Structure 1
Amino acid sequence: MSFTTDTYKTFDKETIFYYKWKAKENLPLKGIVQISHGIGEHAGRYKSIAKRLKNQGYDVYANDHRIHGKSAKNNEYLGFYDGEDYFSDAIEDMRKLTEIIKKEHPNKKIILLGHSMGSLLSREYVTLYGDDLEALILSGTAAFLKGLGSFGLISTSFFSKLNGKHRSNEILKNLFFNQFNKKFKPNRTKVDWISSDKKQVDKFEADPLRIEDFSLGVFRDILKGSKKINKPPTFKNTPKSLPIFIFSGDKDPVGEMGKGVKKVALNYKKAGVKDLTLKIYKGGRHEMLNEVNKEEVEQDLLNWLDERIQATN
């Protein structure tokens, strides 16, 4: 087995499942990469990039966010949330994993890699705990979707008050995902928007841990979080010396076909971030780490990291 797994308890006694890939033996440890996955998926989908990282001297840790993957009590609990603020809870769960990493690697800083929802969580995370980090990598991130985001925020807030935030709503159930998929009509699957690689799309659609249905509170809290992190204070409170690598596809509907991603990068530059790299891949959709050119994307990520991380014995 190329990885190990374990669990930890959160501040509110939830059990969080996580993976650990140890760096290849006989290599100096360059750093530790902590992965924060996207909505509806799980950390087990990051085995490819984790393997590339471990073979280049990086330890990799990745937790299944609460109500996702193997952190859910069972498949019936996938997507079910009855807490107070999912966005904040998920960030504190990430922080707990960081503390585990720090205990196992004293005096070693961490590289945070966030995808999609995980990138939004990571952008808030660095304003709180950025001093623990060596670098930030954002995949498939987004500006606040003014039209769709505002409508979703109003709707989820309304239906949450009406029926309870722990319930789902059939009208809103696939609002975002259907809108994203419309960009690629005629659709072959429900998730054509994630990648142009049909094998990866089919693999994800068949994944028993893929979540289609969520409690309304999850969408509401993520939309509130997205709105917050795309306002000036979040960019201002990001450590200016923290190297940031942002990458996305120019056919990613979450990033508004590159437009929203460029806006995020520009806002970081305006806020004074000194080392910021933006890479937009032509033809790429939402999951560049699962695209037809995934090996190129992985290598670009490794090259960027190696230019900034000094190996230590």
Structure 2
Amino acid sequence: MSFTTSAYKTIDDETIFYYKWPSNRNNPIKGIVQIAHGVGEHAGRYHPIAEKLQNEGFEVYANDHRAHGKSVKSHDYLGYYDGDNYFLDALNDMRQLTEIIQKEHPNKKIILFGHSMGSLLSREYTTKYGADLEALILSGTASFMKGLGPVGLFSADILGKINGKHRSNELLKKLFFTQFNKKFKPNRTKVDWISSDARQVDLFEADPLRIEDFSLSVFRDILKGTKKINKIQTFESTPKDLPILIFSGDKDPVGEMGKGVKKVANAYEKAGIKNLTLKLYEGGRHEMLNEINKNDVEQDVINWLNDRIKV
């Protein structure tokens, strides 16, 4: 089915590119899904799940976060950020897309779907704008990793003072992405950790919009945001009656092989979330939407939505 693209200007004069997959006009719109993608990728990678949702009667919107995808001036600017707080800026960009959606669908609440970094942003977003949401879906989310999180944050702060926060840094890239990949030795590629489906891994490696190098501040600000959203106050600020689906692979290093994902789910339950679903897929890695059982995962998401979203 078809999709359209457009862009909007942010309050700090950045241009943010976004996709829209309109629902089938022959049927009532079941709901509106807003997707927040992960670090190093872009919203265009969500065409498959967006089209399935589209065919199910959902309308889907997804923006390329700043410094990502087609929200950059040119290919040379992929990963480059010169602002003061990447996490907050990306969150505000998501909010502007929400406002566009609300103008086009004034009587509809939004289903927020976040993957990886997008799931972290979505968790914070929900504490601020949860009243505008009908459901929350978190893919490949994370707790503040024991050891790696504090070390990464300390390193980012020190390196930023030495080298400047706008430059890329090989040390931090190795600290995270190389560590993730070590879980799957012998490695065929640098990104074996994203999926056990070799075809999907190769597609990701060949993607011209994929990013490996980021301004140091992107790493630092995401780590600071991750630490904040994993504090008890964030979980307690989440609307108690909001349906939440958390899914991940039990071999996802970002989710600490399921341990971190369970920690997040338990924290939501302790905070009083009434409608929480946790699904860990055996053998799955970081991108369950690109795993060997991706069709089953997509159908699970659709079934979960259909059980909770009533026209």
Question: Scaled by the length of structure 2, what TM-score is found?
Answer: 0.99
Aligned equivalents of 2:159, 2:143: Cα separation in 1: 24
Aligned equivalents of 1:150, 1:305: Cα separation in 2: 36
Aligned equivalents of 1:212, 1:8: Cα separation in 2: 26
Aligned equivalents of 2:23, 2:300: Cα separation in 1: 19
Offset of residue 242 of structure 1: 0.5
Residue 150 of structure 2: aligned partner: 150
Deviating 4+ runs (over 6 angstroms): none
CA RMSD of aligned residues (A): 0.7
Residue 34 of structure 2: aligned partner: 34
Residue 44 of structure 2: aligned partner: 44
Residue 64 of structure 2: aligned partner: 64
Q: Please give the residue correspondences for 1:9-24 in structure 2 after superposition, counting only pairs within 5 Å.
A: 9-24=9-24
Residue 266 of structure 2: aligned partner: 266
Q: 1:113-153 deviations in whole A, cap 9, x for unaligned?
A: 00000000000000000000000000000110121111110
Offset of residue 161 of structure 1: 1.1
Offset of residue 72 of structure 1: 1.0
Residue 298 of structure 2: aligned partner: 298
Aligned equivalents of 1:116, 1:171: Cα separation in 2: 21
Residue 121 of structure 2: aligned partner: 121
Q: Which secondary structure state, in structure 2, belongs to the residue aligned with residue 2 of structure 1?
A: coil
Q: Which secondary structure state, in structure 1, belongs to the residue aligned with residue 183 of structure 2?
A: helix
Q: Please give the residue correspondences for 1:116-195 in structure 2 after superposition, counting only pairs within 5 Å.
A: 116-195=116-195
**CA contact under 8 A between 1:31 and 1:58: conserved in structure 2?**
yes
Offset of residue 175 of structure 1: 1.9
Offset of residue 170 of structure 1: 2.3
Residue 217 of structure 2: aligned partner: 217
Q: Which secondary structure state, in structure 2, belongs to the residue aligned with residue 137 of structure 1?
A: strand
Aligned equivalents of 2:197, 2:225: Cα separation in 1: 30
Q: Which secondary structure state, in structure 2, belongs to the residue aligned with residue 70 of structure 1?
A: coil
Q: 1:215-252 deviations in whole A, cap 9, x for unaligned?
A: 00000000000000000000000000100000000110
Offset of residue 174 of structure 1: 2.8
**CA contact under 8 A between 1:53 and 1:59: conserved in structure 2?**
yes
Q: 1:65-98 deviations in whole A, cap 9, x for unaligned?
A: 0000000111100000010000000000000000
Aligned equivalents of 1:107, 1:13: Cα separation in 2: 29
Residue 256 of structure 1: aligned partner: 256
**Partner amino acid for 1:142?**
A
Offset of residue 168 of structure 1: 1.3
Aligned residues: 311
Gap runs ≥5 in structure 2? none
Q: 1:88-112 deviations in whole A, cap 9, x for unaligned?
A: 0000000000000000001210000
Gap runs ≥5 in structure 1? none
Aligned equivalents of 2:37, 2:245: Cα separation in 1: 16
Q: Which secondary structure state, in structure 1, belongs to the residue aligned with residue 247 of structure 2?
A: strand
Q: Which secondary structure state, in structure 2, belongs to the residue aligned with residue 160 of structure 1?
A: helix
**Partner amino acid for 1:288?**
M
Aligned equivalents of 1:204, 1:170: Cα separation in 2: 20
Percent identity over the alignment is 75
Q: Please give the residue correspondences for 1:36-115 in structure 2 after superposition, counting only pairs within 5 Å.
A: 36-115=36-115
Q: Which secondary structure state, in structure 2, belongs to the residue aligned with residue 175 of structure 1?
A: helix
Q: 1:16-36 deviations in whole A, cap 9, x for unaligned?
A: 000000012311100000000
Question: Scaled by the length of structure 1, what TM-score is found?
Answer: 0.98
Q: 1:243-277 deviations in whole A, cap 9, x for unaligned?
A: 00000001100000101000000000000000000
Aligned equivalents of 1:74, 1:175: Cα separation in 2: 28
**CA contact under 8 A between 1:174 and 1:212: conserved in structure 2?**
no
